């Protein structure tokens, strides 16, 4: 494993939305997240080209909404997780060449992940197998390229997501996320229902997007 920096010592379908740190502060006032159902469990599946790592329980006594199956609800959920630095900061680590990830919470309705990104690391172009989702950047900056589900040529524009930026999306959303900056980044992601399959795409020179493969995600 390469030597990489640590942050531990550092202080229905919906259109995608970007929220800023002000929104994260607003949702922070809501209820705090629940503990995972199985303390110390090792996750068996990861979002888009990420690495696995053992999970750990979050503090007891926190709550999440009974229904988190909409992009807006998942956006609120990742905002609350982001506000609880004590839940995710001790679990931040970086790996190369593959990205590091760990599950923060899961049940039948949803799952929440912590992902880290060294400069230059990123995902393939991918969809989420019919799950809705949301993610927020809690450290650094990420760049997203969104691809409309169409047979027509697509030329996506880079969207910067700084710390506090949030993206929530519907079931047919296709995107690519990368760290194009010079500093490591950390993000929190939620999906509902939990990921069961993911499709990966190729962006052809003429702008068309074609499916490269679909892979099941282990439960």
pLDDT tens figures, 69-114: 899 999 999 999 999 999 999 999 999 998 999 999 998 789 999 9
pLDDT tens figures, 117-126: 999 999 999 9
Percent of the chain exceeding pLDDT 70 equals 68
Check pLDDT > 80 for residue 139.
Answer: yes
> Residue 196's pLDDT is what?
84
Say which CATH class 17-39+65-216 falls into. Answer: mainly beta
Contact at 8 Å (CB) between 49 and 124?
yes
Top-ranked range on mean pLDDT: pick from 145-154, 186-195, 207-216: 186-195
Percent of the chain exceeding pLDDT 90 equals 53
With H, G, I as helix, E, B as strand and everything else as coil, classify residue 71: helix
**pTM, rounded to two decimals:** 0.71
More confident residue, 138 or 47: 138
E strands in 68-206 = 99-106, 111-117, 125-126, 132-139, 142-146, 159-161, 166-169, 175-178, 185-192, 197-203
With H, G, I as helix, E, B as strand and everything else as coil, classify residue 24: helix
List the single range of 33-37, 43-47, 142-146 with lowest mean pLDDT.
33-37
Contact at 8 Å (CB) between 190 and 110?
yes
CA-nearest of 125, 124, 158, 126 to 142 is 158
Contact at 8 Å (CB) between 121 and 178?
yes
């Amino acid at each position: 494993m390469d030597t990489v920096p640590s942050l531990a010592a550092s202080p229905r379908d919906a259109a995608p939305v970007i929220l800023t740190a002000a929104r994260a502060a607003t949702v922070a006032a809501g209820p705090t997240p629940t503990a995972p159902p199985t303390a110390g469990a090792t996750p068996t599946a990861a979002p888009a080209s990420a690495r696995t790592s053992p999970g750990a329980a979050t503090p007891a006594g926190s709550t999440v909404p009974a229904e988190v199956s909409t992009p807006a609800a998942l956006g609120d959920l990742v905002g609350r997780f982001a506000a609880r630095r004590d839940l995710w900061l001790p679990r931040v680590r970086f790996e190369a060449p593959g990205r590091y990830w760990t599950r923060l919470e899961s049940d039948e309705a949803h799952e929440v992940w912590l992902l880290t990104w060294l400069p230059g690391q990123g995902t393939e172009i991918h969809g989420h197998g019919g799950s809705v989702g949301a993610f927020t950047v809690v450290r650094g900056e990420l760049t997203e390229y969104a691809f409309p589900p169409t047979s027509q040529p697509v030329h996506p524009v880079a969207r910067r997501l700084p710390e506090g930026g949030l993206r929530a999306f519907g079931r047919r959303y296709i995107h690519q996320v990368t760290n194009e900056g010079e500093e490591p980044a950390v993000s929190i992601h939620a999906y509902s229902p939990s990921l069961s399959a993911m499709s990966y795409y190729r962006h052809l020179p003429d702008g068309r997007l074609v499916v490269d493969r679909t892979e099941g995600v282990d439960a």
